Amino acid sequence: MKARKRIALVAHDAMKPALVAWAARNREVLARHELWGTGTTGGKVAEGTGLEVKRLKSGPLGGDQQIGAMIAEGELDILVFFSDPLTAMPHDVDVKALLRISTLGQVVVACNAATADFVVASSLFDSDYTPQEFEAAHAG
CATH number where 76 lies: 3.40.50.1380
> One digit per residue, pLDDT tens: the chain, 140 residues?
999 999 999 999 999 999 999 999 999 999 999 999 999 999 999 999 999 999 999 988 889 899 999 999 999 999 999 988 888 766 677 778 889 999 999 999 999 999 999 999 999 999 999 988 766 555 55
Q: Is residue 101 part of a domain?
A: yes
Q: Is residue 1 part of a domain?
A: no
3-state secondary structure the chain: CCCCCEEEEEECHHHHHHHHHHHHHCHHHHCCCEEEECHHHHHHHHHHHCCCEEECCCHHHCHHHHHHHHHHCCCCCEEEEECCCCCCCCCHHHHHHHHHHHHHCCCEEECCHHHHHHHHHCCCCCCCCCCCCHHHHHHC
Q: Is residue 45 part of a domain?
A: yes
Annotated binding residue 130: no
Rounded to whole angstroms, the Cα distance separating 35 from 14 reads 21
pLDDT recorded at residue 33:
98
Q: Is residue 112 part of a domain?
A: yes
pLDDT recorded at residue 46:
99
Annotated binding residue 59: yes
pLDDT recorded at residue 87:
81
pLDDT recorded at residue 51:
99
- Beta bridge pairs of residue 34: 6
- Beta bridge pairs of residue 35: 7, 53
Query: Mind telling me the catalytic residues?
Result: 64
Q: How many domains does the structure of the chain reveal?
A: 1
Structural domain span for residue 114: 6-139
Annotated binding residue 138: no
